[in-house]
Structure 1
């Protein structure tokens, strides 16, 4: 970035530098996640669904359309992921008793166990990627990004 700043300073406003650095960090963490979930014979989308359900708290279930919205997946894409996880015994569908058009996707006990294992393994993989970063700097960067996201359109 410093070389670009010297060569073409008007192109490197703070937002450009932030964007580039966030993309690089995202790539590093994303690669660690891919390696981790592959070790559990999961796809990234499988991991996202399992993590979302586990994060939702007891009874570890969400409506299928809520999953789609929160994970930015199409309803068809969500359905494919859920089908794959159902076939592996990690989630199950259950009808919404108050709305016959909706179904819930719920973690099975085995799915909860797998979700917890992979989330912990993924956290450790991210810790490895960031191991050279001082804890205080990591906390400050996280707080700054959290604040930045409060100002972005949703």
Structure 2
């Protein structure tokens, strides 16, 4: 069993104040949030050095991972990034101003457009993805490999169960 941590202190306090909320769901939520925060902080440090915001990184990374010609419709980006359409539009404008993306009219629909990475955008995306992955790797290297792999498999299973529950209730 692992040493007691900050979450154990939180759970103990809630056990005193509201015993009905102090339990496994709260522990899982708190530990998951702390883990997510650690990855976000590591990514933010890498992105700051590159002069990118997390939202800009999100757009660059999504466009790069779809492969050539590295383009999506703005609505697809909004959906992939879980941003508002206005937020996506602002990020696209900033990246276009930096020469990393261009907006192109859709050939098949005059009301629609594409957002495409420029060669500079492809380079920026690849650099950013490598830097963020390296920052995440520095966190993960502290976990014994077998334990990290087990955690990965458990998280896959847990996420599938949680997503199924959300979709069923949705």
Question: TM-score scaled to structure 2, two decimals?
Answer: 0.84
Give CA-to-partner distance per residue, 1:37-79, whole Å, 9 cap, x none.
1111111100010001111112111110010111111111111
Indicate whether 1:21 and 2:37 are aligned.
no
Aligned residues: 154
Change (3 A) 1:92 1:12: same
Deviation at 1:97, TM superposition (A): 1.1
Q: Give the aligned partner of residue 73 of structure 1.
A: 83
Indicate whether 1:84 and 2:59 are aligned.
no
Please state whether the residue corresponding to 1:126 is helix, strand or coil.
Answer: helix
From 107, 111, 116, the counterpart of 1:106? 116
Give CA-to-partner distance per residue, 1:70-100, whole Å, 9 cap, x none.
1111111111100000111111111111122
Deviation at 1:5, TM superposition (A): 5.0
Larger radius of gyration between Structure 1 and Structure 2: 2
Compute the RMSD of aligned alpha carbons: 1.7
Indicate whether 1:45 and 2:79 are aligned.
no
From 116, 126, 129, the counterpart of 1:119? 129
